[in-house]
Amino acid sequence: MLMEPIIVKVIICVAVFLLELGTFRLITKINLFVISFQPLFLILAIKFIFEKIENGKGKPMNFGSVWNSFCVLLSNNWYIALLYFSIMPIIVFILVCVSTKKHKPLRVKKYEKLGENLVSYVMTYIVPLTTLSVGSKFSDFLGNVILFLIIMILYIRLDLAYLNPVLILFGYNIFKLHLMKINGEEYKDDVVDYIITKKSEVKFDNFLKSNNSVVRVNTLGNDLVLEDET
């Protein structure tokens, strides 16, 4: 009987993973936004474990106490959701990148580097949310969930979901590309794509200059591409 709830939770996590994997290209900005908050989720997941140990009167701090506290927290559905979103979104992103085969060339008119507001992003949004504790009331969790959703809507509407500290930590850079037609003609309106690349700004600039401003990419979403380095 004890195994039944665990099996149900595993099935739900697998189902969410497959849903996230299958819809990544349809809701790219939402997925990138969730990835950008993974450090927060991981910090909270670890913080809750040690708070559980500290709440245990006289419990020594060792591997056993950490593991026991972790196992106790796994009975909490909120904690399982927190643990899932602290680990899996970046794995989904990697799998999507590996499986994407939609090669196409883009001609770049100009580009902009993103990331100048990264510090203010971290200080303004991630740090205040870390005030949650394992003993927080439901109203505290609800308030933070509402705050998180408001931030998500704002960042998606303002195209700030591409300001992604996790991808930067993984060695990627994100540039905003203003495009022209592949034959060199101007579009009637400004056409923009965001490119994820391993190249630094200097290397990316030199690459464009040496390749007549053309870069080959794989499509990850409506306006998100990954540089094709094959």
DSSP one-letter string for 154-213: HHHHTT-TT--HHHHHTT-EEEEEEEE-TTSPPPSS-EEEEEEESS-HHHHHHHHHHTTT
The percentage of the chain sitting over the pLDDT mark of 90, rounded to a whole number, equals 25
> Sign of dihedral through CA atoms 157, 160, 166, 167?
positive
pLDDT tier at 59, thresholds 50, 70, 90 = low
Is the pLDDT score of 2 beyond 50?
no
Strand 191-197 to strand 224-227: parallel, antiparallel, or no bridges (unpaired)? parallel
Q: Is the pLDDT score of 150 beyond 90?
A: no
pLDDT of residue 124: 59
> Residue 107 contacts by C-beta under 8 Å, 6 or more apart in sequence?
179, 180, 181, 182, 184, 212, 213, 214
Task: Identify which of 66-70, 144-148, 196-200 has the greatest average pLDDT.
Answer: 196-200
Which residues, in sequence order, are bridge partners of residue 217?
Answer: 104, 227
What are the C-alpha distances in Å from 210 to residues 89, 178, 207?
35, 18, 5
pLDDT-based confidence at residue 49 (cuts at 50, 70, 90): confident
The reported pLDDT for the residue numbered 1 is 42
Q: Is residue 93 within 8 Å of 35, Cβ to Cβ?
A: yes
Q: What is the C-alpha separation between 80 and 82, in angstroms, rounded?
A: 5
Query: Bigger pLDDT: 40 or 92?
Result: 92
pTM of the model: 0.81
CA distance 94 to 92: 5
Contact 228, 216 (CB under 8 A): yes
d(CA 148, CA 73): 22
Mean pLDDT of all residues belonging to the chain: 82
Q: What is the model's pLDDT at position 57?
A: 60
Tell me the average pLDDT across 209-216.
92
For the chain, counts of helices (H) and of strands (E):
10, 5
**Per-residue DSSP letters for 117-140?**
THHHHIIIIIHHHTT--TT--HHH
Stretch among 3-12, 164-173, 212-221 having the lowest mean pLDDT: 3-12
* DSSP H/E element including 217: strand 214-219
pLDDT grade for 48, boundaries at 50, 70 and 90: confident
Indicate the range of 32-36, 121-125, 178-182 predicted with least confidence. 121-125
The Cα-based distances of 4 to 9, 11, 13, 71, 166 in angstroms read 9, 11, 14, 16, 35
Going by pLDDT thresholds of 50, 70 and 90, the confidence category of residue 141 is confident
pLDDT of residue 79: 85
Q: Would you say 83 and 8 are in contact if contact means Cβ atoms under 8 Å apart?
A: no
pLDDT tens-digit map of 8-40: 888 898 999 999 988 888 888 888 888 988 888
CA pair distance 191, 222, nearest whole angstrom: 12
